[in-house]
Structure 1
Amino acid sequence: MKAVIVANGDLRDHLRLVEIWRAADLRIAADGGATNARKHLTLAPHVLIGDFDSVDEATHAWCMQAHTELIKHSREKNETDLELAIDLAIARGTTDITILGAIGGRFDQMLANAFLLVRLARARIHARIVDIDFDAWLAWEHSPINGKIGETVSLISITDRVDEIVTNGLRYPLRNETLYLGSPRGVSNELIVENASVTFKSGLLLVVHLLADSR
């Protein structure tokens, strides 16, 4: 089952995001992400979860009219609203999570959202953060990278090291190489085929794919 979660970060109108949202088996809004859904994605979530401190009256009424399931938590909680949404998706059996609206706003929250991918990767759940002009995900030992020739791809170690990296279809190939935490060695590579890939032996590798056509 595929879940799409919309968070309360920056979100812009774009057909790509609407299509991703509509195609989900389970649509979850993390608190103020419901307002993002109302304004930019047009279709109400199946579930709205959080402490509702960022849900305005218009959005609440819209969700009620659409018979959205409401799960309210106390404001005095240890988890972020996005964490609660992820926990819910996992509890309901999803094995694939796409997160919208996870960037923009406060830098600390944006960074924390990105690092939630670590937890999901370790649980062997496919997860990615998506915006109109990029996809970001933590690769498993083998990860396809599909896109248009000329698009930018960055490979970033988020553990001390990622070993025995092999790329196929990138302009600057890596052949059994190691990327280290804090090194820009894997940044700003380029697709030279539409179906590229990266494999590696150990570590956690963040893939950021910048999309050429984000109009």
Structure 2
Amino acid sequence: MAIQRSRIRKFLVVAHGEPLAPRQLRRLARGRYVICLDGAANDNPSLRPDLLLGDMDGISAPALRRMRRWKVPVLALTDQNTTDLEKALLWCAMHKAKDVVVVAATGRRMDHTLANVSLLRRFDRKGAVLEFRTGLERIRYLKNRRLSLAAKRGQRVAVFGAPEATVWSTGAKYPMTGLLLRWGILESVSNECTGRRFALRVEGEALLVMEEK
């Protein structure tokens, strides 16, 4: 299925975890091609996406009628070897996405949450940004790279080895200087930003969890 707004390379994927507030969802949707997974249509009755995608086993009859009334294109993919979120991320990659934000990928079921977070690593591509937003935090996977983000004083930040990384930070209350982080052994949690920028250098693989401000 071709994208009607063919120049768009920024996407918002709405998954079927803990939903965001409608105001937050509207803000994140601005300027993005919005893909709604089938079950997420049940939780977001005011959301009018550009595409409804999934195996269609989780959408309610009223939500499906609403999508049809709005003439939202439907991409039904019945492959049971991939989750609906995997299908959506594959679709974004096929359309050369440069910036993908995924919301409602966490919460409700722990197995789904852990599987979804692992997709940050699986779909990491050079030159593209993939980020999860929960309404409270943003989550990114980083491999052998440097990152500088706008920040506010007191903004919480955590870094986990995924599975292992050596990290250096700038703008953190508790500086990380060649700190070796290993999954299940040592992580950096409850750190805080000290000013308007937070920078991180990662050698290896890490997950960054940063509070929304």
Fold similarity call, TM over 0.5: yes
Matched, 1:52 2:56: yes
Change (3 A) 1:14 1:137: same
Amino acid at match of 1:84: K
Displacement of 1:195 in angstroms is: 1.1
Provide the rounded CA distance (Å) in 2 between the counterparts of 1:183 and 1:170.
Answer: 21
Please state whether the residue corresponding to 1:3 is helix, strand or coil: strand
Displacement of 1:124 in angstroms is: 4.9
Structure 1: runs of 5+ lacking an equivalent:
none
Displacement of 1:91 in angstroms is: 1.1
The TM-score with structure 1 as length reference comes to 0.88
Matched, 1:63 2:70: no
Provide the rounded CA distance (Å) in 2 between the counterparts of 1:209 and 1:69.
Answer: 34
What pairs with 1:27-38 in structure 2 (closer than 5 Å)?
A: 27-38=34-45
More strand by share: 2
Displacement of 1:14 in angstroms is: 4.7
Match of 2:27 in 1: 19
Matched, 1:131 2:134: yes
Contact 2:146 2:201 in 1 (8 A): yes
The alignment-based identity, stated in percent, is 24
Match of 1:96 in 2: 99
Per-residue CA distance 1:80-125 (angstroms, 9 max, x = gap): 0111111111111212111011111110011101110001225553
Matched, 1:2 2:4: no
2:198 to 196, 199, 211: 196
Contact 2:54 2:76 in 1 (8 A): yes
Contact 1:170 1:196 in 2 (8 A): yes
Contact 1:166 1:199 in 2 (8 A): yes
Provide the rounded CA distance (Å) in 2 between the counterparts of 1:145 and 1:184.
Answer: 24
Provide the rounded CA distance (Å) in 2 between the counterparts of 1:29 and 1:131.
Answer: 16
Provide the rounded CA distance (Å) in 2 between the counterparts of 1:204 and 1:17.
Answer: 29
Q: Cα RMSD over matched residues? A: 1.7
Question: In terms of mean alpha carbon deviation, does 126-135 or 176-185 score higher?
Answer: 176-185
- Which 4+ runs in 1 deviate beyond 4 A? none
Amino acid at match of 1:89: C
Amino acid at match of 2:21: D
Provide the rounded CA distance (Å) in 2 between the counterparts of 1:35 and 1:148.
Answer: 35
Displacement of 1:36 in angstroms is: 3.0
Question: In terms of mean alpha carbon deviation, does 12-21 or 79-88 score higher?
Answer: 12-21
Provide the rounded CA distance (Å) in 2 between the counterparts of 1:129 and 1:135.
Answer: 6
Match of 1:174 in 2: 176
Please state whether the residue corresponding to 2:123 is helix, strand or coil: helix
Q: What number of residue pairs does the alignment pair up?
A: 204
2:82 to 66, 79, 84: 79
